Amino acid sequence: MIPAAFDYARPRSVDEAVRALADAGEDAKVLAGGQSLMPLLRLRLAIPDALIDLGRIAALREIRDDGDAVVIGSMATHHQVIRDPLVRAHLPLIARTTETVADPAVRHRGTFGGSLAHADPAGDLPAVALALDAVLLVRSPRGEREIPAAEFFVDWMTSALEPDELLVGVRVPKLGPGWGVHYEKFHRTAQAWAIVGVACAVRRDGDSVAEARVALTNMGPAPVRAGAVEDAVRGRPISDDSFRSAGGHAADGTEPPSDLHGSSEYRSHLATVLTARALAAAAAA
């Protein structure tokens, strides 16, 4: 398949990129690693007037320590994220989840920022960003803006980014000691998207759960934070019974889609089973 014609810009700096995006108008698309956008272009499901290719902006690939947080440049590749010592030390949930994304070829090109900005509810990383209370760092001709993950994922493939706004990085708070993490991904083949995924972090206090954060992949038009599960498991003893009972709330208030790989009803069931398993695995980690 061959994309429809488009204008193309390959800026060398963030300033240039912001300008290029503003100049290109409403129907421009930002090209990061291209692993989601290129197929859409080739199938002519996306027909933008212009592409702004961020591939030559080295500054956007940086991952740096920011005190009690780590800032991941929006163009850091999945491969880079998986191997980065800061991410491995402070954000193991991101490292482990990213290891489950697609295949090595995709992980060498696909980017952390790209998969968040794409806002695909079947993508793994949006739920992780939500569970970790990440903050998305945005630039536009109007200046800088910070968007909490909880406000970023608006709808199916729709983020809070304005047409002239560029995602430049993501600030993710470090999890302190006592946290265990797990991403439970359920998919039919290794390279397929998650039918349901559960991103989970549990802080232990002795034999009980002090605090848990749970977010779900592909359980609605946007990733969702499973607040009812978090409430139900807080303060409960670390046991299969607690997790099973808390997991039972996983589908509360969700609107899971029906598609070729699973009906809405099945997804609701899966969410409860997988959430119980994710809590158990995180608590044991």
Residues near another protein, by CB under 8 A: 1-2, 4-5, 39, 42-43, 103, 184-193, 195, 240, 243-244, 247, 260-263, 266, 269-270, 272-274, 276-277, 279-280
Min separation Cβ 113 and another protein, Å: 22
Nearer to another protein, 145 or 187 (CB): 187
Q: What angle do CA 136, 221, 102 make, to 5 degrees?
A: 70
Q: What angle do CA 166, 169, 173 make, to 5 degrees?
A: 140
Q: How far apart are CA 69 and CA 66, in angstroms?
A: 5
Kindly list the distances between the CA atom of residue 109 and the CA atoms of 75, 76, 142, 144, in Å, as whole numbers in the listed order: 9, 9, 30, 27
Three-class SS of residue 5? Answer: coil
Min separation Cβ 44 and another protein, Å: 8
Min separation Cβ 183 and another protein, Å: 10
Nearer to another protein, 73 or 114 (CB): 114
- For residue 224 the two structure tokens come to 């969702």
From the list 268, 224, 277, the residue with the least C-alpha distance to 249 is 268
Nearer to another protein, 177 or 189 (CB): 189
26's CB contacts (< 8 A; 6+ apart) are 163
Min separation Cβ 220 and another protein, Å: 18
Nearer to another protein, 43 or 59 (CB): 43
Nearer to another protein, 176 or 190 (CB): 190
Decide: 279 and 212 in contact? Cβ < 8 Å.
Answer: yes
From the list 82, 102, 86, the residue with the least C-alpha distance to 94 is 82
Min separation Cβ 144 and another protein, Å: 36
Three-class SS of residue 199? Answer: strand
Min separation Cβ 232 and another protein, Å: 13
Min separation Cβ 254 and another protein, Å: 17
Query: In terms of C-beta density within 10 A (0-12 exposed, 13-18 middle, 19 or more buried), how is residue 178 classed?
Result: exposed
From the list 31, 9, 26, the residue with the least C-alpha distance to 110 is 31
Nearer to another protein, 78 or 261 (CB): 261
Nearer to another protein, 11 or 110 (CB): 110
Nearer to another protein, 13 or 258 (CB): 258
Min separation Cβ 57 and another protein, Å: 28
From the list 126, 151, 191, 42, the residue with the least C-alpha distance to 31 is 42
